[in-house]
Amino acid sequence: MKKTFTYNVVAAIGRVICPRSTVNFEGGEPTEPGIIVCNHSSIRGPVMMTLYYGRPHKNWIISYALEREKTANFAFHDFFVGEGRRVKWFWRLLSKIVAKILPGVLSQAGPIAVYHDSRIIKTFRNTMAALSEGYDVVVFGESPERYSEYVNRMQLGIIDVAALYYKRTGKKLKIYPAYIEKKNRLIEVAPPIEYGPELDKNGTCEKISSEIDRMARGMKKHKPVPFLPERWYRTYGRYEHDFDKYWQMIDKEQ
């Protein structure tokens, strides 16, 4: 797909914000498609993976960021933590401006939309198709539940994809934990976890977070950039252990 002028402008800004980064595969570069599970690092993770990962890949992106009629409300709560702001009309206005631009820009990158309703089957179907076509699938799978200062706990949907892959192909899908860090200009990718039915889902999610935390602690000293800012927890902390209710709140306001 030919990139639009707006996409190229946003990509150029991204390169200024996040200078060129190196990808380091601890266990050697993959020889087949897999799932790359990354820390979000606010906006830095998606920007750095889109611009610098190198291997053919498709990113999971929350559907609210791709559906114009829903993006403004999503941006108000998720980007700007709107409930905790003064002068809410300003943040609502800014969210509407974001909604005019964001879906079109993100769509240019050929993402896989992630749904939090019955359409999740479409997410899984498109993920299976991307893997079969030779693409890695990049997932920013953190939940709001905090694991360490470097990474949050991962959502089980990642493992559901791996379980479906095994059911359909009889093969173990390789899941690569990855830590993204702007200051060191590095995307560090751990050796894969090969998921099969003998593994526990919760234990596998725990292992992914643990590996990301390990890589973060092994890097040169840097300031962690959390998935969600402290302001989010002060405002929406009631959703830390029940993310589904957060999405329900956003849906209810549409």
Q: How many Å apart are CA 140 and CA 60, to the nearest integer?
A: 7
Q: What DSSP element (H or E) covers 72?
A: helix 68-74
Q: Are 211 and 190 in contact (CB under 8 A)?
A: yes
Helices 157-169, 120-132: axis angle to 10 degrees equals 60
Please state the domain extents for the chain: 5-253
| Statement: the pTM of the whole predicted model exceeds 0.85 | yes
Instruction: Find where tokens 């559906």 sit.
Output: 67
Q: How far is CA 202 from CA 39, 78, 127, 206, 209, in A?
A: 18, 26, 21, 6, 11
What's the CA angle centered on 249, arms 248 and 251, to 5 degrees? 60
**Residues pairing with 173 in the sheet:** 195
Instruction: Find where tokens 């993976």 sit.
Output: 49
Q: How far is CA 95 from the centre of its chain?
A: 20
- Widest CA span in the chain: 55
User: pLDDT tens string for the chain (254 positions)?
Assistant: 578 888 888 889 999 999 999 999 999 999 999 999 999 999 999 999 999 999 999 999 999 999 999 999 999 999 999 999 999 999 999 999 999 999 999 999 889 999 988 999 999 999 999 999 999 999 999 999 999 999 999 999 999 999 999 999 999 999 999 999 999 999 999 999 999 999 999 999 999 999 999 999 999 999 999 999 999 999 999 999 999 999 999 988 76
**In terms of Cα–Cα distance, which of 211, 170, 161 is closest to 27?**
211
